[in-house]
Amino acid sequence: MSSILWLDLQPSVFCFNKKLACILSQSRHVRRWSFQHDLDEICSLTTIFDFLRETVDQLDSPPHVVAHGLSGTFACLFARQFPKAFRSLTLISVDPVSSNQWTSHYLEMRRRLPCSRSSILSHIVPLLFDKNFSESNLVLSGFFEKCLDCDYISGSIASHSLLPNLSSIDIPLSIINGSHDFVIDQNSALRWKPHLNNGDRFYSLPGGHHFSHFSQPKLYGELINSFLEMIPESFSPAFPDQFHSSLSRKISL
């Protein structure tokens, strides 16, 4: 049975993905690809692609890839450029408009409002989850503050950094979004529709938010597994030619 590769560009908030990853590991082998870059290091889309391609080339066969948020955006862009590298792609809380990220909302509020980082995060963070975590908002905000300081984000307070918008890819695709996700809004289904091929799936979970897989990991696990079971094991894109690179990166598998 083909393995799962969980793509993770923001390890500071991976704790909210861990429950789902553990559930998926009950039926398939799950690896995690975690990207970290040094502070003040210039990092481009090409740089991340190089390191990811280097890792994928070391696997025995193309994996099923699962990714959330910004990580999903990068996974889809990668799959479009290297369609033979993945067996399938499952996106969680991802919009075809690549600028629709929680970090983009944060940065826009910082540019426009005379508010501190902590004030804006205390407003945004509860909106990302299904439940009201009022008693633990400070703790939750700490994870996202660390993400802003240590992990990859697109853009900064001083400038915009636009990623290419997403479009159709040549491998099986599944998208799971929440109907109440303020990051990508309810019109995401209409934006995805022109980019879905026959057999692709789009789920809109009633009442779901940006990190609903944290509070409903079993449901997400069932949706992902049902999608993967529809993909025959005989479906195997030709594995990409080996990609030689002298670059190295902190990753965990």
**pLDDT tens readout for residues 143-180:** 999 999 888 887 654 455 678 999 999 999 999 999 99
For range 7-28, the mean pLDDT? 96
The C-alpha atoms of residue 54 and residue 35 are separated, in whole angstroms, by: 13
The C-alpha atoms of residue 40 and residue 205 are separated, in whole angstroms, by: 38
Helical residues (DSSP H) of the chain, grouped into ranges: 18-24, 45-56, 69-81, 102-112, 117-124, 137-150, 188-192, 212-215, 217-229
* Residue whose structure tokens are 């990068």: 74
Q: How confident is the model at residue 86 (pLDDT cuts 50, 70, 90)?
A: very high
Contact 73/98 with Cβ under 8 angstroms? Answer: yes
Q: Please tell me the predicted confidence (pLDDT) of residue 39.
A: 62
Q: Please tell me the predicted confidence (pLDDT) of residue 131.
A: 74
Q: Which helix (H) or strand (E) holds 89?
A: strand 88-92
Secondary structure of residue 31 in the 3-state scheme: strand
- φ/ψ region of 29 (left if φ > 0, alpha if ψ in -120 to 50, else beta) reads beta
Q: State which CATH number among 1.10.1240.10, 3.40.50.1820, 3.10.290.10, 3.50.50.60 fits the domain covering 4-97+165-229.
A: 3.40.50.1820
The C-alpha atoms of residue 76 and residue 95 are separated, in whole angstroms, by: 11
Domain boundaries, the chain: 4-97+165-229, 102-150
**Dihedral of the alpha carbons of 87, 180, 210, 114, in degrees to the nearest 10:** 140
List Cα–Cα distances, 57 to 111, 223, 236, 243, in angstroms.
41, 28, 15, 7
Which residues touch 222 (CB under 8 Å, ≥6 apart)? none
For range 203-225, the mean pLDDT? 96
Q: Please tell me the predicted confidence (pLDDT) of residue 248.
A: 29
Greater confidence (76 vs 38) lies with 76
Contact 160/187 with Cβ under 8 angstroms? Answer: no
The mean of the pLDDT values for the chain is 86
pLDDT tens per residue across span 192-208: 999 999 999 999 999 99
Report whether pLDDT(241) > 60: no
Q: Please tell me the predicted confidence (pLDDT) of residue 163.
A: 87
Lowest mean pLDDT across 9-13, 150-154, 192-196, 209-213: 150-154
* Residue whose structure tokens are 């190295």: 248
